[in-house]
Amino acid sequence: MASDIEIRTRPPIEEFFKDLTLTLKGKTKHILRCVLGKLSPGHVSAVLGPSGAGKTIFLSVLIGKAVGCTVTRVILINGKPELVQSYMKIICFLPQDDIVHKNLIVQKNP
Q: Which strands make up the sheet holding 80-81, listed edge to edge? A: 30-39, 15-24, 69-77, 80-81
Provide the pLDDT confidence category of residue 36 given band limits of 50, 70 and 90: very high
Q: Residue 59 carries which DSSP code?
A: H
Confidence class of residue 38 from pLDDT cuts 50, 70 and 90? very high
- pLDDT at position 108 over 90: no
86 burial class (0-12, 13-18, 19+ CB within 10 angstroms)?
A: exposed
What is the pLDDT confidence band of residue 16, given thresholds at 50, 70 and 90?
very high
Would 99 be classed as within a structural domain? no
Asked, for residue 23, whether it belongs to a domain, the answer is yes
- Tell me how far apart the alpha carbons of residues 52 and 67 are, in angstroms, rounded to a whole number: 17
Does residue 43 form part of some domain? yes
d(CA 95, CA 29): 25
The answer as to whether 70 is a domain residue is yes
Residue 10 inside a domain? The answer is no
Residue at 73 is within a domain: yes
Backbone region of residue 102 per phi and psi (left: phi > 0; alpha: psi in -120 to 50; beta: other values): alpha
Query: 74 Cβ partners below 8 Å, 6+ apart?
Result: 17, 18, 19, 81
**Which residue range(s) make up the domain with 47?**
15-87
Number of domains observed in the structure of the chain:
1
